[in-house]
Amino acid sequence: MVRSSTPNMVQAQALRVAPSSLQEEIHLFLERRKISDVYVSQNVRTVQSFSPTDKVYVGTRMGPVPSGYLILRADSPPIYWNTRIGTAHILKLVFDRRQIEKVGSIVLSATYYGNERKMILEDILYYNGTLVWSTLNFTERWKIMKNICRFVIKPDTIGIQGFDVSVVELQSLDTWCKRTEYNNVFMWEFIIDKPRARRLIWRPDPTPVIHPIAGFSSPAFTPHHIPSTHHIPSTPPILNKPPMTPVLHKTPVLHKHPMASTPLIARIEKDSALNLPDSYILYAANNVNIGAPSVKKLSISLALRSAAPCNVRLQYNDIFKKYEVVELVENTQQLSQEAAFDKRT
């Protein structure tokens, strides 16, 4: 159900990063409500089968963008929280603030596709003061989300948003199993109708020879061959195993310096010149400044606020072109030499 309509002549608007004071506020908002602990999806390879009693729905993803959070609060502008980099962005979203004042803050699982100018609403996580993702079945959460789209999020009749808002389209697992083609979408998602059930992600191989459910790879397959238990093997039942795409919402692949056989350890101190959240300077052995780090995880961000200055373990993140703080370590650990850091931040 599309709840907004952006005229074709309106260009997609880049999401505006929230100011540092609001970043800090949203950080704490998510942390205090345990929303930052919600991981809404996992790789289908880690799941052997659905229970025969499970009610399962199937949706699609348009690309490799991970789900974020759409946050609606009465005392702030609408926010899209990018879970990949842990950053709040301000949206020009048309919504009824009076409804938010009645029911309290709302947090939805949503994905923003900038190139397509679309935001897809996938689930509701927090509503009426409760982490409903942990307490309600998906079908119950789905009803709440549809009411939010009906009464809270309003149609964008003048095109100020720069993107369309819609609810993900779903089908039952039995209907999905009757398909004859599975490779014409970027990625499939399986949603189990339970509280705290992560969505299961499966990306089909480009060659149309694989069915993700065991027993479906036979050329003689017909719909009545659907097994009573919808089994998803850890590897497809064919001789030439295709590569599987890594799961979304996992830390990006990190690459250490090729000569580093031991962990990269540096000392991290607050950047007093900037005085902003997560603004730090890294120092190698002999107090050599090696630049600013990336602090991606909220748990590490919160820990550093009380622990810095301290020693940390680093890995190089090719996506952000920075050394990322992986964990805090004992201050007695020896700092790495400057030569170990060939990539400067």
pLDDT digits (tens, 9 = 90+) for 109-147: 999 998 888 999 999 999 999 999 999 999 999 999 999
Q: Is the pLDDT of residue 198 over 70?
A: yes
Rounded to the nearest integer, the mean pLDDT of the chain is 76
Token pair of 228 as six digits? 């009573």
Q: Which of 200, 137, 132, 191 is nearest to 167 (CA)?
A: 191
What mean pLDDT comes out for the span 22-44? 80
* The pLDDT of residue 240 is above 60: no
The yes-or-no verdict on residue 170 having pLDDT over 90 is: yes
Q: Where does residue 275 fall: left (phi above 0), alpha (psi -120 to 50 degrees), or beta otherwise?
A: left
- Of the listed ranges 35-44, 249-258, 265-274, the one predicted with least confidence: 249-258
Residue 157 has pLDDT above 70, yes or no: yes
pLDDT tops 70 at residue 3 = no
Give the span between the Cα atoms of 23 and 240, in whole angstroms. 48
The mean pLDDT value for 207-235 works out to: 37
Residue 219's pLDDT band (cuts 50, 70, 90) = very low
What is the Cα 132 distance to its own chain's centre? 18
Instruction: Please give the class, per CATH, of domain 254-340.
Output: mainly beta
User: What residue ranges do the domains of the chain occupy?
Assistant: 1-249, 254-340
Render pLDDT for 36-85 as a digit per residue (tens, 0 to 9). Answer: 767 666 665 533 456 778 899 999 999 888 899 999 999 999 999 998 88
| Burial per residue of 67-91, b for 16 or more beta-carbon CB atoms within 10 angstroms, e otherwise | bbbbbbbeebbbbbbbbbebbbbbb
Mean pLDDT of 192-207: 82
**Assigned superfamily of 1-249:** DNA ligase/mRNA capping enzyme (3.30.470.30)
Taking residues 204-211, what's their average pLDDT?
58
* Averaged pLDDT for residues 274-280: 74
Indicate whether 33 pLDDT > 50.
yes
High-pLDDT (> 90) share of the chain, %:
32
